Structure 1
Amino acid sequence: MNAVIIEDEKLVAREFAYKIAEVDAEVRIVETLPSVKTALRWFGENAEPDVVFADIQLADGVSFEIFQKFQLSCPIIFVTSYNEYAIQAFKVNGIDYLLKPVDTDDLSKAIGKARMLNKAKNAMPVDLQKLMQALQQPGTVLKPNYKETFLGNSRSGWVPIKVNDIAFFQYDAVNFMVTKTNDRYPVDYETMDQIEELLDPSQFYRANRQFIVNNDVIQSVKSLENSKLILKLKSPHHAIDVDISRQKAPAFKRWLDR
C-alpha cells in the first residue's frame, strides 16, 4: 500500500515513518511533503497514493487547502496536535483523526481501515458502459449487482447454490445458508451484515440478528399481542419460527405488502 506523508517537521516525519513501518511493513512511503505548496505541485504531477497521512497545521497554511484543490478518492488519515479540526477533517475524505503523539494501536486500526476501504474500492470496478448510458439518458437507473450464487462448504469441497434456491441464512455460532430443499451449508462470511449487503433487498429481508429470509418461503405471518410478529415458513421449514420485533414490524409489513 503506497502512502504519502504531509508533515512540515522533518524529524517528526521521519519518526512517524518509522512508526508506520513498525505497525505495517507493507505500507510504502513514496513521498514526504513538507508544505501546502509542495503538496499541491506533487498531487498535480503524480497519481494519488493508496493512503495519505496529513498533519493539518503546516508552515504555509493548512492541509485542507490541498484536499479542497484535489478531491482525492484515497483515504486520508489526519495526524495533528490539535483536536478542533476533527469535523472539518471528515468532510474531506478523512477516515481517522490521530492526535500526536500517535498511539501505536490507534495507528494500526487506522491503517487497517484504510486497507479495507482500498480493498472494497478495488473489488467494485465501475461499469463505464452503463455509466455512460446513464449519463446520456438521465432517466436511467443503474441497478446494483447483487450476488447470484453462494458457495456452501461441505466435507468434499464447495457447493454452488443459486440465490433463488436459498430459503434463508441463519446465524448459529457460524453463518449457515439453508436451501429450499433444507440442505444446510456453512458460508465463508463472518457477519450477517456482510451477507445482507450482497442480497437483493426486494427478495430477502433481515428479520433479526439470526435470520435473513427469502420472501418465497414465507407461508404466513402471525401477530402477537405485544405487536411482535412470527413468520411461519413453508415446508420443509415449517418447524422454524422467525421473530420480527415490534419495532421492525411496520417496516416488514410495508416490505411484504408491495
Structure 2
Amino acid sequence: MKVLIVEDEHLAAAKLKKMMEKYDSGIEVLDNLTAVHETVQWLRENPAPDLIMMDIQIDDGVCFEIFQQVEVTSPVIFTTAYDQYAIKAFQVHSIDYLLKPFSYEKLKQSLEKLKKINASSRPTSASIDVDELLTALKQQEPSYKSRFLVKSGTKIRSIKTRDIAYVYTDRKLNLLVTNEGDRYPVDQSLDELTHILDPDTFFRANRQLILHIDSVSAIHPYFKGRVKLDLTPPLDAEIIISSEKTPDFKAWLDK
C-alpha cells in the first residue's frame, strides 16, 4: 500500500510512519508534506496514493482547502486535535479520523476498516462537503487549556497557562518554561499545543517554539525580512521569525 502523509509536525509524522510500518512492513510512505500548497501540487503531479493520512491543521492553513483546489480520489484518514467538531463532522460524512494523540491500536482499527472497505469494493474516495466542514470548524466554540499538570520530582504541580513563558522542543523533549524559568516536560506535541492554547496570547514561532505574548522582551530586525527575538526568561538558542511569519507575528503583538 502506498501512503501519502500530510503532517507539519515532523516528530508526529515520523511516529505515524513507524506505526504504519509496524502494521504492515509492505507499506510505502511516498512523501511527508507539511502545507496546503505543496500537497495540491503533489496531487496534481503524481498518481493517486492508496491512502492519505492528513492532519487537519497544517503549516499554511486547514487541510480542507486542498479539496477545494484539486480532486482527491484517494481514501483519507484525518488526524485532528479538534475533538468536538471532528466527531460531529466526520460521523456525518462517514470519514474515519484519529484524535490526537492516538495509539497504535487506534491506527490499526482505522487501517482494518479501510481494508474491509477495499475488500467490499465500496468507493473510498474522499467525497466530502468541504464548505460544510469549514463552516463547522469556524463555528466551533474555542475551549482553550487553562492549566497543565506537570511532574516536579516526585510531586505533581498545576501550572496556569498565564504563567507559561513558552514551550519549546529540545532533543525530542517538549519543555514548558514558566515565567520564573522553571522547566517541565509535557506530553503534548507542539502541534497539539497550538490547538489548545489561546492564539490571542500564544504564537507558534517555528517548529520548535510556542511563545506567550509577554515573553517577548525585544525584537530586532533581521536580514531578508525576518526578525530576531529576545525572550524572558532567556532561551539558549537564536529565535528567528521567518519572513513569511513576520507579518502575522507583528499583527499578533499589536492586537
TM-score range, shorter chain: 0.3 to 0.5
TM-score (norm 2): 0.48
Larger RCO (CA under 8 A, 6+ residues apart): 2
TM-score (norm 1): 0.47
